[in-house]
Amino acid sequence: MRLLRLEPPAELAPYVEHFWVVRWSLPAGQTLAQATLPHPVVHWTVEGARSELMGVTRGRFVRRLSGSGRVVAAKFHPAGLCAFTREPLHTLTDRKVPASRILGAKVGRALRGLDALSEEEAAARLSAALCGLEPKPDPAADEARRIVEHIARDREVTAVESVARWAGLSVLALQRLFRA
């Protein structure tokens, strides 16, 4: 197994935490259950001809690997995908959808031949496809990201009420923000 993380270009840094590439090669007949507890973010994954957006997963994610393969992906910041779509992100929770459904067919065309590229070139192709979508800042998404980053840093946060107080919002307003 090999994991590579690559920084996004400056124009995507407000929306994309990093690009990542996983490559594996297992002996014939061997499988590996790879488990993660994901962050509350959307990932855009490309594996072979499959290009998908994976919404926030509310539990452990397990992927069974066999043979050889590679996944090239973008890990968005919390609410980072909002700069590329007005689709409510809660519709992606615990789901995978074709990336073209949210990002448009233009993205699919940009990914042709990705398998023939190096890891760095493949991540650069995803980056260029996202830049081509001309991301539009979303103040509500920026606020949600700021709150999620606070929660991640502050180990004392254990209740919604304390997060709402810190953010200067009512619990209901916080819930609405996160749903959007």
Instruction: Identify residue 81 by its one-letter amino acid code.
Output: L
Q: Dihedral angle at the C-alpha atoms of 107, 111, 112, 113, nearest 10 degrees?
A: 170
Radius of gyration, CA atoms only, the chain = 17
Q: Report DSSP state, residue 13.
A: T
Domain ranges of the chain: 2-132, 139-179
**Whole-angstrom distance, CA of residue 41 vs CA of residue 77:** 6
Residue 85 contacts residue 103 (beta carbons within 8 Å)? yes
With H, G, I as helix, E, B as strand and everything else as coil, classify residue 134: coil
Question: In the predicted model, is pLDDT for residue 44 greater than 90?
Answer: yes
User: What integer is the mean pLDDT of 65-86?
Assistant: 91
Residue pair 18/75 in contact (Cβ under 8 Å)? The answer is yes
172 pLDDT tier (thresholds 50, 70, 90)? very high
- Residues 132-136 have a mean pLDDT of 93
Q: Are 21 and 73 in contact (CB under 8 A)?
A: yes
Question: Average per-residue pLDDT in the chain?
Answer: 91
What's the pTM? 0.89
Q: What is the pLDDT of residue 173?
A: 96
DSSP letter assigned to residue 77 = P
C-alpha 73/C-alpha 119 separation (Å) is 10
Distance CA(163)–CA(166), nearest Å, equals 5
Kindly report the CATH class assigned to 139-179.
mainly alpha
